[in-house]
Amino acid sequence: MNRLLLLSSPALGHGVPRGAALSAAAQARIDDLQTLGPEKFADLRAPRLVYAPDDNRDIVARVRDGMAKVSVPGYPQAARMLASGRLLDDAERLQVPTDVIVGAEDVVTPPESARRAHAALRDPWRGSLTFVPGAGHALYQQTPAAFAAALDALAEIVG
């Protein structure tokens, strides 16, 4: 079986041990969801995931609609999982062709994080590193053609 991997807007994680306190930012997101509820949580957070949200209100609306469907305990579990991860360590052990893509304007998982994840991959598994101009964290919604092209390029590796 041929395998491949695309790391899209990768979160590096913080290596938080199971049961340990989360970072203030991660805990604040969980608290916001629990306090505000999914609808208001989505209203608050969705614009941050889109580059130039005032110019891309339709995209913000789609992101917001998806975010409004998050649930408790699902979102807190996902936040804890991401906080416990150590992507740079994991990337060093990957033995599968791996590309990395990130929105050039991503403020959630900034391009520098993607650059670090890409650098942690070992040869011959390190593939391309793509910065998508004019895209934020929700790059697959903001620039679907660029995202699809990244998937197509990776698929060509395994034919």
Could you tell me how many residues make up the chain? Answer: 159
- What's the whole-number mean pLDDT along residues 127-155? 93
> What band does 152 get if pLDDT is binned at 50, 70 and 90?
confident
Q: Which of 101, 92, 89 is nearest to 123 (CA)?
A: 92
Q: Which of 7, 11, 5, 6 is nearest to 110 (CA)?
A: 11
List residues bridging with 5 in a β-sheet.
98
Integer Cα distance of 47 and 57 in angstroms = 8
pLDDT at residue 157 greater than cutoff 90: no
Q: Which of 101, 108, 102 is nearest to 47 (CA)?
A: 108
Give me 103's structure tokens: 């929105």
Q: pLDDT for 95-128, tens place per residue? A: 999 999 999 999 999 999 999 999 999 999 999 9
Integer Cα distance of 157 and 148 in angstroms = 15
> What band does 140 get if pLDDT is binned at 50, 70 and 90?
very high
